[in-house]
Amino acid sequence: MKIREEFLPYCRPCYGAAELDGMADAIRSGWWSRGPKVAAFEQAFAERVGARHALALNSCTAGLFLGLKLYDLQPGDQVITTPLTFCATANVIVHNGATPVFADVDPVTGLIDPAQIEQKITPKTKGVLPVHYAGRACDMDAINALADKHGLFVLEDAAHAVYTTYANGNWVGNTRNTVAFSFYATKNLAVGEGGMLTTNNAALFERAQRLSLHGMSRDAWKRFSAAGSWRYDVVEAGYKYNMTDPAAALGLAQLDRLETMQQRRLAIANAYNAAFADLPGITPLPSGPFGRNAWHLYMLLVDPARCGFTRDQLIEQLHDVYRVGTSVHYMPVHLHPFYRQTFGTRPGDCPHAEALFAQMVSLPLYPSMTEEDVTYVCEAVRAVAARFAA
């Protein structure tokens, strides 16, 4: 095969005239912080996922932090989460003064295993923070049943799950739980930096809204509008987590064409599945049994015993020889030095997550990939396999 000259990045934002026009309109409006576009984005997103309330924030991490803050965790409290996630999921537990406890994942899907969750529950456990990993929903029926049985809250990390549905067909976000979404630059719906917290609980929403703007009793952007007033009260020590109108303008444009972008993601995933179906020892991460896959990630599992090369060798060959970017999602959180030194976690604590980590690689998957790009990635992976087989 002919090696391409231009490097194919792992991810690239997808935008068009609507995003550019929306940003320009936001800049011209004078609302450069939270303003009317943020309110419109919140309403549109809530309607799309079926939630009663949505709060636009500057990151999913802010949403997760606030989501935990609503339950007033105390030192010594424990929150159970998955090790197979980005560190932010566990970091926010630490920032709330609690202790993260890692429950291992299902060895096939990589999703947090409800049976493992139950084994980790102690009298100190206050909640569960499942992650809808790689765009696939967790077994929320089982997790919610555990929460009811043991009196726990559930906060869902949906950073990968814009467009994901639960097993019952509802969109992730249309649930009894509080849910945090990410609109980071690599996500299915991207604004650069941004997130959303959804809930059907009015009291939790009102407190989250207040905490997101310094603990003030009035919405900040209304203070400077014709209908606003200079007067406000700080009723608790809050934070500065609000989204800006230019970011919301991007979000509104992206939301309008989410269906089109998702269909493209699905087409690319299907092309990959077909191209790799006959390669021994190279298998895609299963789509997942609990709802619609949003295809945030396309992940291959590389079994060296069957294919003759390691995950790291595949990454190196794709990058150095074929000029294709990849990523790994993720090194299990309990293996990072901070968690090992602070909480005494160690290799072997979550063997299923560790085994998956050793084999996984994420391939480029984004709507602006051309047919030539997709074909090239397929040919490059097959060329690496053929090279080692020879």
Digit-coded pLDDT (tens) for 300-325: 999 999 999 999 999 999 999 999 99
Q: Which residues of 30-52 are buried (b: 16+ CB within 10 A; e: fewer)?
A: ebeebbebbbbbbeebbebbebe
Respond yes or no on whether the N-terminal peptide bond of residue 330 is cis (omega within 30° of 0). yes
Residue 273 phi, psi dihedral angles, 5° rounding = -55, -45
Q: Which of 37, 69, 126, 187 is catalytic?
A: 187
Mean pLDDT of the chain: 96
pLDDT at 242 over 60: yes
Q: What angle do CA 317, 320, 323 make, to 5 degrees?
A: 95
What pLDDT sits at residue 218?
Answer: 64
pLDDT band at 232 (very low <50, low <70, confident <90, very high): confident
Q: How far apart are CA 163 and CA 171, in angstroms?
A: 7
Nearest Cα neighbor of 226 from 83, 30, 378 is 30
What pLDDT sits at residue 75?
Answer: 96
pLDDT at 228 over 80: no
Helix (H, G, I), strand (E, B) or coil at 102: strand
pLDDT at 160 over 90: yes
Same fold, 17-256 and 258-389: no
Q: How far apart are CA 272 and CA 30, in angstroms?
A: 45
CATH superfamily, region 258-389: Aspartate Aminotransferase, domain 1 (3.90.1150.10)
Q: How far apart are CA 183 and CA 161, in angstroms?
A: 10
Strand order in the sheet with 178-182: 53-57, 195-199, 178-182, 153-158, 125-129, 78-81, 99-102
Is 187 assigned a catalytic role? yes
Q: What is the pLDDT of residues 243-277, one digit of tens each?
A: 999 999 999 999 999 999 999 999 999 999 999 99
Is the pTM higher than 0.85? The answer reads yes
Task: Tell which phi-psi region holds residue 295, choosing left (phi > 0), alpha (psi between -120 and 50) or beta.
Answer: left
Choice among 123-132, 227-236, 277-286 with the minimum mean pLDDT: 227-236
Helix (H, G, I), strand (E, B) or coil at 66: helix
Q: Indicate the domain borders of the chain.
A: 17-256, 258-389
Q: How far apart are CA 237 and CA 201, in angstroms?
A: 22
Mean pLDDT over residues 153-175, rounded?
98
What pLDDT sits at residue 227?
Answer: 62
CATH, range 17-256: 3.40.640.10
pLDDT band at 226 (very low <50, low <70, confident <90, very high): low
What pLDDT sits at residue 383?
Answer: 98
Q: How far apart are CA 371 and CA 352, in angstroms?
A: 35
Mean pLDDT over residues 20-38, rounded?
94
pLDDT band at 222 (very low <50, low <70, confident <90, very high): low
Distance of CA 48 to the CA centre of its chain: 17
pLDDT at 110 over 80: yes
pLDDT at 224 over 60: no
Give the tokens for residue 253: 């444009």
Rg (CA), the chain: 22
